[in-house]
């Protein structure tokens, strides 16, 4: 195994969490470097593409969250070997990234502009994406998004669903997923109940 350091913010979610989770689930040794928000401004210009997560692989620094998810997914046994199943896993990861970007671009807006932008997202793109995710889940057998087993694609979709349902996003109804794509809620519950995932978050609560 290569020497791995994953650097991301110190919270249980976002773009870095699928890779952290995958490494834990797969039992892949890595350094879990957690950055405090107050440290970020001083680090930002030194990071490739000025963003986190980044992964150091034997001293080589690599960026881009879905690229990292795919790489660690292979190491952790959570990425399909079959080409078509890999494509289906990739497709949902990239689509979640679309939504992360669109929601993320509203975060810095002032209250009025944020409300307007998020209402537009809630009226159009968000339910469309959620319906598409649900349709893909069903087409793939209903339990997982690819390969009929847990992959990094599931972890990525789950992070979006968890964020949308958390109540942390003003002006996006926290019951949107439940109303539009209830099978994604069942999927989220299925993942949260996986023994390795449940044990990981139980350990995080104690820490």
Least Å distance, CB 128 to a second copy, is 7
Judge whether 177 and 165 are in contact, CB under 8 Å. yes
How many residues touch a second copy under the rule CB under 8 A: the total is 34
CA 41-47-63 angle, to 5 degrees, is 130
- HSE-CB for 140 with a 13 A CA cutoff: 28
Residue 25 or residue 93: which is nearer to a second copy going by CB? 93
26-65 residues in contact with a second copy (CB under 8 A) are: 48-50, 57, 60, 62-65
- Encoded one letter per residue, x for contact with a second copy by CB under 8 A and - for no contact, window 130-159 reads --x------x--------------------
- Choose, by CB under 8 A, the member of 128, 148, 179, 204 that binds a second copy: 128
Kind and range of the H or E run holding 34: strand 31-35
Kind and range of the H or E run holding 8: strand 4-9
Residue ranges that bind a second copy, judged by CB under 8 A: 2, 48-50, 57, 60, 62-68, 70-71, 74-75, 83-84, 86-88, 90-91, 93-95, 98, 101, 125, 128-129, 132, 139
């Amino acid at each position: 195994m290569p020497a791995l350091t994953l650097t991301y913010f110190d919270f249980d979610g976002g773009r870095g969490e699928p890779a952290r989770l995958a490494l834990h689930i797969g039992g892949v040794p890595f350094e879990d470097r957690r950055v405090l928000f107050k440290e970020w401004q001083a680090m930002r210009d030194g990071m490739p593409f000025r963003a986190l997560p980044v992964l150091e692989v034997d001293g080589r620094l690599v960026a881009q969250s879905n690229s990292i998810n795919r790489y660690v997914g292979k190491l952790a046994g959570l990425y399909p070997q079959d080409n078509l199943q890999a494509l289906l896993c990739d497709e949902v990861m990239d689509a979640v990234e679309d939504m992360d970007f669109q929601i993320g671009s509203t975060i810095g807006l002032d209250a009025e502009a944020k409300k307007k932008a998020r209402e537009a997202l809630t009226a159009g793109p968000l339910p469309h994406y959620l319906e598409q995710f649900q349709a893909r889940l069903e087409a793939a057998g209903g339990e997982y998004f690819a390969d009929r087993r847990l992959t990094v694609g599931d972890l990525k979709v789950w992070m979006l669903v968890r964020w949308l349902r958390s109540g942390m996003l003003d002006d996006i109804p926290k019951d949107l997923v439940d109303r539009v794509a209830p099978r994604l809620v069942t999927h989220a519950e299925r993942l949260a109940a996986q023994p390795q995932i449940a044990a990981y978050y139980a350990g995080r609560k104690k820490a």
